[in-house]
């Protein structure tokens, strides 16, 4: 795919959705961090249902840490892998209190040192909370990047690097949100909605409907 096509793709995404953001509910950097940790292998809808009950009760590192694993678990038990996530969240709260004065660090190494935070989660925080032009490649972005030929790659890291290289700089800050939403609602895994796709004529997917 050439750069002119890439530019046109993101111009259309921007026209359709000028201010994209995550569909997770949050009101602070910390709330976003916890929501993203909980969202691994879970839907944003299921996470929002849990955090909508949790955050009015506890929404700081100190208050969630005070719940402990046993106190936190009832709030998140409807989310997949809730046992391990409860432990990760409590241990993350402890480290935030011990190492970062209760604040979410704006640093990849520090973020990835937190339990339950890998490269993708760190990229979400750096992008959504701190406004850095990172690329959090999930299954949706991986699929869209390869299917459209926007930034193909065999691994998540390869796709991430190619997106950072090929996405026009003017669109880098919001690109991760546009691609997730496109994969979530239009470029579906099993049956993409090509007839309703705003970039159908620019996409290089060979089996378009």
pLDDT of residue 208: 61
- The DSSP letter of residue 25 is -
Q: How many CB atoms lie within 10 A of CB 196?
A: 10
- Which phi and psi (to 5°) does residue 139 adopt? -65, -35
Give residues with Cβ within 8 angstroms of 57, minimum separation 6. 63, 75
Provide the CA 138 distance to its chain's centre, in angstroms. 7
**Contacts by 27-30, CB closer than 8 A, 24 or more apart:** 27/55, 27/59, 28/59, 29/103, 29/104, 29/125, 29/129, 29/130, 30/59, 30/60, 30/61, 30/96, 30/102, 30/103, 30/104
pLDDT of residue 87: 97
The topology under which CATH files domain 3-21+134-196 is Endonuclease Iii, domain 2 (1.10.1670)
Query: What's this model's pTM, rounded to 2 decimal places?
Result: 0.91
CATH class of 29-129: mainly alpha
197 close to 146: Cβ distance less than 8 angstroms: no
Domain boundaries, the chain: 3-21+134-196, 29-129
Catalytic-labelled residue, pool 98, 138, 191, 201: 138
- Indicate if 120 belongs to the active site: yes
Residue-wise pLDDT for 56-107, tens only, equals: 999 999 999 999 999 999 999 999 889 999 999 999 999 999 999 999 999 9
Residue-wise pLDDT for 120-153, tens only, equals: 999 999 999 999 999 999 999 999 999 999 999 9
Q: How many CB atoms lie within 10 A of CB 191?
A: 7
Catalytic-labelled residue, pool 120, 165, 169, 208: 120
Residue 209 pLDDT greater than 90, yes or no = no
């Amino acid at each position: 795919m050439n750069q002119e096509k890439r530019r046109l793709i993101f111009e259309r995404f921007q026209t359709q959705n000028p201010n994209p953001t995550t569909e997770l509910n949050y009101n602070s950097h910390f709330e976003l961090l916890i929501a993203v940790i909980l969202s691994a292998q879970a839907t944003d809808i299921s996470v929002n249902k849990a955090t909508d009950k949790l955050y009015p009760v506890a929404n700081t590192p100190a208050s969630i840490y005070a719940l402990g694993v046993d106190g936190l678990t009832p709030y998140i038990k409807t989310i997949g892998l809730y046992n391990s996530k409860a432990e990760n969240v409590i241990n993350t709260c402890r480290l935030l209190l011990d190492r970062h004065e209760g604040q979410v660090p704006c640093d990849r190494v520090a973020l990835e040192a937190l339990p339950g935070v890998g490269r993708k989660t760190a990229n979400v925080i750096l992008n959504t909370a701190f406004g850095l032009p990172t690329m959090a490649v999930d299954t949706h972005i991986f699929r869209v990047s390869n299917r459209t030929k926007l930034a193909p790659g065999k691994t998540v890291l390869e796709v991430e690097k190619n997106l950072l290289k090929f996405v026009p700089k003017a669109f880098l800050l919001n690109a991760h949100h546009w691609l997730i939403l496109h994969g979530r609602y239009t470029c579906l895994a099993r049956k993409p909605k090509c007839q309703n796709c705003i970039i159908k004529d620019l996409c290089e997917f060979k089996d378009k409907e």
